[in-house]
A and B are shown apart, each in its own frame.
Chain A
């Protein structure tokens, strides 16, 4: 892909982000629920005290003015102050983001490592018992609610078998000076193998819970596209040449069969980032998703706006990555 195309794509981001900002702003403001009333809670207050709180949160100004102030500041990277944390929103989000990214990456790895072999196997053993089990399993994987499956895993591995911890990211004796803020990497970089194992034991269950639906989807995609590829003439030709089945599948078929898998995986990674609030809640995982949901209920406007903007950027970029991967894997396609 040329540099021109890349710049063109990046420029296309601007209207998307403007649109997302406007939609989020309008939706948050139009949703019933007054941030000041929520903040005061169950308390007797005088109208003056209430007005002072409204002024301090900047909610006494007209909506249109607030929107343009938000946009103007956002361009400079200032997303305002969180109503509740009383700190810059960008700072609060940055603290929670690494946990979400780490969990999403591990879930992605889990999903890729399980779905591709299972999908390929199901395709080459089409209609076998294994294929049927895998098909039913993938249906279950897509339809099991994350919170239920997560709690089931918790009860089994943490409460009954005492093998894994219930919640959190790492134990309380481990203090790791951050480098990348991704604990699995930082612990290794610092040479703390004990802490690495500790962090690993914390991430296993949430990563499996989060990765399950994606595993199921990717397995289906891989199976279908593998079946398609196996019907192609060049595969038949390769087999006719007398190549071993193994060689035909792994050297010739797999690369082409993986094209749809990879692009679906890139797009689905966006939903991993956005869709992990439930998993984060169940496993007490200190990520962004949970923070955003809490903030929506509290009408913490600045935080929700900034976070949704972040999700939008990530989603657009991941789609972009999917496109690039597509062209890399399939040189016939030009963007």
Chain B
């Protein structure tokens, strides 16, 4: 070989070696849904927030155990029942290099809470997530003061759902621009959004480090993060098994063993926040009688269904609250499985030959509903499952007090804040929007209303305990379980833990 040929060869070899290999530090998530928008104030979907939250940070955040801790804020002080001060950290940069200031925080909160603040007369669809927030003002240069119209103890629990935008950037690109562009202060910045296909982000090297209470503090570990949208669960599992992705969400319970047995993959679970229950129409033909409702409660073997259908991945409940929620009562009366007692109760209620009912549910829960129906039938409540579509069933059952038809409704309610305010009140207060049983108890209404604004934590917890005890005796619903969120992960993934609020925070995640 001539020396020229050798030189050419060496140069071209060097060239090829210098080309970055399809990087080892890419972290890919097989995710159920694409983001609707990248504007943190203009959506109402948890999946959208999960994606956005890796590019934007909030005033407060949560650790994996759902504890609320400061993120962009350095500290939080409650000045009075309706006034909170947040001291904003210095040295935080947005992705465009500009500094994040208290003005940006005020602007963000105004944009979410003030009427018409999104432009074109539109109000942020996230306004209701900020409850009775009246105003945000900058005091002392680096402190933002949030004032409430009335006391609202769950403000700190709700703030992690909002992300801080740059005032200058929003004023430049408008709400229309923010829908597809981002300028957050989070650990990753947007590279490309291939709509319906993937969102590609890369590490933001000037990141301030994130919440000091959640180590490790510093830049993100991986170079790139890719949210790859794979709506079908069987395909998500296939992508994980094929090594195309490193994390998948919503792993179906029946695929858990397959993922566990595959050498390169594993399963991670975290207690979820969605409570499942059966609403019994208290204005209906049978379930106005407490004895019939009790019969239903005793006819269902929750442990058996959790074990056999949910693969053990759920926590049993006796009230609406998840065991992890604030003020969940650990010692509520358990309605144990006892089909003979069910029959006896039905006879006492005047139905010695049992009753025939229909249970509505969505297609996704048909199997579980069928299992429940066969247990109910054994207990004397001959149940037929009727599968409907989500929005249509919600219309039928969540009538806000208007008369409704139907006997039973197998459904669920999510509680991302893990505060009773967001789940107990809508499902149990008279005529509230999630009260599918048509339950009404003035005593419970009063307790729920008062607890919503009670600032003394112990007193507030006690009110919810009382309400849970009353409801546990009244039994408008058969409370069933809180399923765990199940993730499939690649074994090359390190440093990541799933979070109970279904967020997938990738700041600390590394790949080997």
Contacts and interface: CB of A to CB of B under 8 A. Distances in A.
B415 interface: yes
Interface in B223-246: 224, 226, 228-232, 234-235, 238-239, 241-244
A155 B179 contact: no
Interface string A284-300: 10110011001001110
A84 B127 contact: no
* Size bin of chain A's contact surface: 35 or more
B321 interface: no
A167 interface: yes
A273 interface: no
Contacts, number: 168
A284 B231 contact: yes
Interface string A28-54: 000111100111111111100110110
A87 B22 contact: no
A27 B194 CA distance: 32
B128 A43 contact: yes
A190 to B, nearest CB: 16
A289 to B, nearest CB: 10
B122 interface: yes
Contacts of B192: 175
A95 B242 CA distance: 29
B260 interface: no
A151 to B, nearest CB: 5
B235 A282 contact: yes
Label chain A's interface by main secondary structure.
loop
Nearest to B423: A42
Contacts of A165: 242, 244
A251 interface: no
Contacts of A281: 231-232, 235
Nearest to A53: B125
Contacts of A39: 44, 125
A44 B234 contact: no
Interface string B41-63: 01111000000000000000000
B423 A169 contact: no
Contacts of B123: 52-53, 56
A86 B42 contact: yes
Contacts of A34: 391, 394-395
* Size bin of chain B's contact surface: 35 or more
Nearest to B394: A37
Interface in A40-91: 40-46, 49-50, 52-53, 56, 84-87
A224 to B, nearest CB: 36
Given A32-B391, A167-B239, A168-B228, A40 B128 contact: yes
Contacts of A86: 36-37, 39, 42-43, 175, 179
A334 B375 CA distance: 67
Contacts of A40: 44, 128, 433
A96 B196 contact: yes
B415 A42 contact: yes
A81 to B, nearest CB: 9
Interface of B: 22, 26, 30, 33-34, 36-37, 39, 42-45, 115, 121-123, 125, 127-129, 175-176, 179-180, 192, 194-198, 200, 224, 226, 228-232, 234-235, 238-239, 241-244, 274, 389-392, 394-396, 398, 413-415, 421-423, 425-426, 432-434
27 contacts: A37-B391, A37-B395, A41-B44, A42-B415, A42-B423, A46-B128, A53-B128, A85-B36, A87-B180, A92-B195, A95-B195, A96-B196, A154-B235, A162-B242, A165-B244, A166-B239, A168-B228, A172-B198, A173-B22, A175-B192, A281-B235, A284-B228, A284-B230, A286-B194, A286-B195, A297-B390, A298-B391
Given A33-B395, A43-B129, A95-B196, 7 more contacts: A40-B128, A56-B123, A151-B238, A158-B238, A282-B235, A297-B391, A299-B391
